Amino acid sequence: MTGSPPATDLDLFADDVLVDPYPSYADLCELGGVVHLPSNDVYALTRYDTIRAALRDWESFSSAGAIGFNPAVNEALEGTSLASDPPVHTRLRATLTANLSPRALRGLKDGIDAKADNLVEKLAAQGSFDAIDALARAFPLEVVADLIGFTGHVRDNMLRWGQAAMQVIGPMNQRTAESFPIAGELYGWCSEVTAEDLAPDSVGRGIFEAEARGDIPSGTAGHIIHQYLGAGVDTTIAAIGNLVALFAAHPGQLSLVRADPSLVPAAFNEVLRYWAPVHAWGRRTTRDVDIDGAVVPAGSRIALLFGAGNRDPRHYENPGEFLVRRNPVDHLSFGYGPHGCAGQGLARLEAHAVIQALSRHVGRLVVGPEVRVPSNITRSIDALPVLEVVPA
């Protein structure tokens, strides 16, 4: 027997929900695998199995013109791999990931590890610093700028452009409206950028070479570079900030990693499961879809709640505990299926390097209160004062 999904008046993008969505996630998850949110005109997918199935079924849950929660951003992203389905998506993604393959990333590992170690050693010696500005932002911004070949004013604007590019994916609220002009600067630059604007032998130059060979459609190189900056920087900053805060709050878990460095990948998986960097991501149904006996009509807007699925007690035992030995390799924070995060290999390299450096140079971090501000899509820490570093 089928019927309509349960409904609630929750506003998914209210300030208090964005700052701490986990109580709301738990309530939604209990209501059902899909819950109608009339306030946002979306159907929220809340449980692990439901979200993973939707990510796999791109034919029923389309990304084309659907990843954002307002029509303007969906129009702006038209033709990108983020907002397309196979076979178009497959071709665009191949170029996006060519320089992010395991083989390509192996050549970057030593340099990234050294940068992280030097930075964390320097900060630990200082004894006090802001973990977000000095580490979570500084480190990935430098890594991505060097990788893509950003120079000059682009390098200087990476943070504000990356934040705005994620913010405008939300509904047309004040945050989105204020961010559109800034995101427009990024869109404008990406529409005009040429190979000569990027450093020689960079990944960015390689994308233009692929366009010249005909591997990707003419005029799409700038869109692909936009995705490296628009979708890759802000989420990595969030993940690194989260891991610093979690290890500060759980020094015993950092001690486990120090005693057994092979736990580094598992620790990062647990960080991503425990605090998902992305709050919600969009899809649109192409047909009526039955989810646990509830029918979601064709043409409905979908919100994938990765953080809710990552805390689903039907899938993870004691999901509210942060345990580095859990190793949740199947977490949802990098997505799944055709649209699994193209840059996850680079994000792992960066985060693993930071965790390794923390375990080597830090015994315990004494921190002040973390500061979070409402953000439509990326859930990150805005400030985290480190008051004292207890040496390892």
pLDDT digits (tens, 9 = 90+) for 359-383: 999 999 999 999 999 999 999 999 9
Domain of residue 267 covers 15-390
pTM exceeding the 0.75 threshold for the entire prediction: yes
Mean pLDDT of 159-181: 97
Residue 10 lies inside a defined structural domain of this protein: no
Higher pLDDT, 209 or 263: 263
What is the C-alpha to C-alpha distance for residues 65 and 20, in angstroms, rounded to an integer?
28
Residue 194 lies inside a defined structural domain of this protein: yes
- Per-residue pLDDT at 214: 87
Question: How many domains in the chain?
Answer: 1
pLDDT of residue 216 exceeding 80: no
- Per-residue pLDDT at 376: 98
Helix (H, G, I), strand (E, B) or coil at 387: strand
pLDDT of residue 50 exceeding 80: yes
pLDDT of residue 1 exceeding 60: no
Amino acid identity of residue 261, one-letter, is P
Helix (H, G, I), strand (E, B) or coil at 31: helix
Residue 126 lies inside a defined structural domain of this protein: yes
Residue 4 lies inside a defined structural domain of this protein: no
Mean pLDDT of 34-38: 99
In this structure, what CATH number is given to the domain that contains residue 33? 1.10.630.10
Mean predicted lDDT score pLDDT of the chain: 94
Residue 8 lies inside a defined structural domain of this protein: no
Mean pLDDT of 278-291: 98
Mean pLDDT of 94-105: 76
pLDDT band at 106 (very low <50, low <70, confident <90, very high): confident
pLDDT of residue 150 exceeding 70: yes
- Per-residue pLDDT at 100: 76
Residue 273 lies inside a defined structural domain of this protein: yes
pLDDT of residue 61 exceeding 70: yes
pLDDT band at 29 (very low <50, low <70, confident <90, very high): very high
pLDDT band at 230 (very low <50, low <70, confident <90, very high): confident
Residue 205 lies inside a defined structural domain of this protein: yes
- Per-residue pLDDT at 392: 86
Q: What is the 3-state secondary structure (H, E, C) of 118-174?
A: HHHHHHHHHCCEEHHHHHHHHHHHHHHHHHHCCCHHHHHHHHHHHHHHHHCCCCCCH
Higher pLDDT, 119 or 90: 119
What is the C-alpha to C-alpha distance for residues 338 and 93, in angstroms, rounded to an integer?
9
Residue 138 lies inside a defined structural domain of this protein: yes
- Per-residue pLDDT at 217: 79
Q: How far is CA 169 from CA 68, 98, 163, 334, in A?
A: 4, 26, 11, 17
